[in-house]
Amino acid sequence: MKVFINKRIPEIGINMLQEAGLQIVFPENESLTYEEWLKYCQNADVILNVGGDFKYDKVFFDACPNIKAIALYSVGFDHVDIEEANQRNIPIGNTPDVLSRATSDVAFLLMQSVARRASYNFQKVIDNNWGTFDPLNALGQELYGKTLGVFGLGRIGFQMAEKCKKAFDMEIIYHNRHRNEDTERELGATYVSFDELVRNSDVLSVHANFTPEHKDLFNESVFEKMKPNAIFINTARGGFHQEQDLYNALTEDKIWGAGLDVTNPEPMSADNPILKLSNVCVLPHIGSATLEARNGMARLAAGNIIAFSKGEKMLNCANPEVYSAQSS
């Protein structure tokens, strides 16, 4: 079975695949055009996909009829048309859990960085622009006892909420498709409507899986409802927020600040005016960028492929319904 991996992953995953007797194919150059990428995929049985450069849509599946499974080196699978995969009985593996802690750490970091204008003040040091003491200049805000609103209280959202509860004794409110009663009991979290979440959060952190219906969900009308002291955090997908509307909300004092590990579009242009704001912190999508998380992702992605190669169910499958279809 031939496995195409479009970018290098930690050695632990590569070693697992080789020890399982699978043939691994890497591109000569990782900066592939769509046509080059497609050619590699057409000559493979299984794909271990790193990043979201290209879409796994109907065009792809029609062009690559030999693909039997796809293992994603990510939790998110918004770049995969799950319905098309299901029609072809192709399981899509992903890597939940192993990066939950690391990604929530970044959300927690962004929240504090924005609250204390850390990026802005760090730039002052770099520019040798400390200035004289000014008791009113670029003041931050404290987070103790504030309300954290979580949009998508799953694994990562829970980790973020737990940190905020323990560190700052923050009140936790959340909005999900379904209530998370275990978390309500454990953290004293309160389920609220989306409108209540928006209106009552001092910090609003996005952790849901991105779907087309979520595109530009956080837009002008939503930002206008938020508290003027509110901090918006997005470590999920850039598509959740409309970036021009976010910029306007920040510059018109409709919200207090924003911390982004994902942007819309991504990567963000270096001359984007949002980067010049003192109440913003932007990171280049580093949510899972720890040795522990990236190694865990490699193990899980490789494990998904190895299980598939043995005729077993993937350890973590984004479309488990494909197995029900296969057995019926």
What is the mean pLDDT of the segment spanning 122-136? Answer: 92
Give the CB-side neighbour count of residue 208, counting CA atoms within 13 A. 23
Q: Is 128 a residue whose pLDDT tops 90? A: yes
Contacts 24+ apart (CB under 8 A), 177-185: 180/153, 180/154, 183/153, 183/158
> 155-176: buried (b, 16+ CB within 10 Å) or exposed (e) per residue?
bbbbbbbbbbbeebebbbbbbb
Sign of CA dihedral 23, 77, 7, 67: positive
Please give the pLDDT value at position 52.
85
The residue among 248, 253, 259, 218 whose CA lies nearest residue 106 is: 259
| pLDDT above 90 as % of the chain | 93
* DSSP alpha helix (H) spans, 88-151: 100-115, 118-126
Give the CB-side neighbour count of residue 30, counting CA atoms within 13 A. 8
State the pLDDT confidence band at 163, using cuts at 50, 70 and 90.
very high
191 beta partners = 174
pLDDT in tens, 269-298: 999 999 999 999 999 999 999 999 999 999
Under 8 Å between Cβ of 49 and 6: yes
Please give the pLDDT value at position 327.
58
pLDDT in tens, 28-85: 998 999 999 999 999 999 999 999 889 999 999 999 999 999 999 999 999 999 999 9
What is the mean pLDDT of the segment spanning 293-309? Answer: 98
Q: How far apart are the first and last CA of the chain?
A: 26
Mapping DSSP to helix (H, G, I), strand (E, B) and coil, where does residue 125 land? helix
Please give the pLDDT value at position 63.
98
State the pLDDT confidence band at 328, using cuts at 50, 70 and 90.
low
CA distance 314 to 323: 10
State the pLDDT confidence band at 131, using cuts at 50, 70 and 90.
confident
| 78 φ, ψ (degrees, to nearest 5) | -70, -15
State the pLDDT confidence band at 119, using cuts at 50, 70 and 90.
very high
Average pLDDT in the chain:
96
Name the residue with tokens 């998508």: 152
CA distance 297 to 5: 14
Q: Which residues are designated catalytic?
A: 237, 266, 285
CA distance 99 to 107: 12
The residue among 113, 108, 131, 128 whose CA lies nearest residue 278 is: 113
CA distance 64 to 57: 11
Please give the pLDDT value at position 235.
98
Q: Is 325 a residue whose pLDDT tops 70? A: no
CA distance 263 to 282: 8
* DSSP alpha helix (H) spans, the chain: 11-19, 34-42, 58-63, 82-87, 100-115, 118-126, 155-168, 181-187, 194-200, 220-225, 243-251, 291-309, 321-327
The residue among 100, 111, 202, 207 whose CA lies nearest residue 159 is: 100
- Rounded to a whole number of angstroms, the CA Rg of the chain reads 21
- Count of Cβ atoms closer than 10 Å to residue 195 Cβ: 11
CA distance 296 to 155: 15
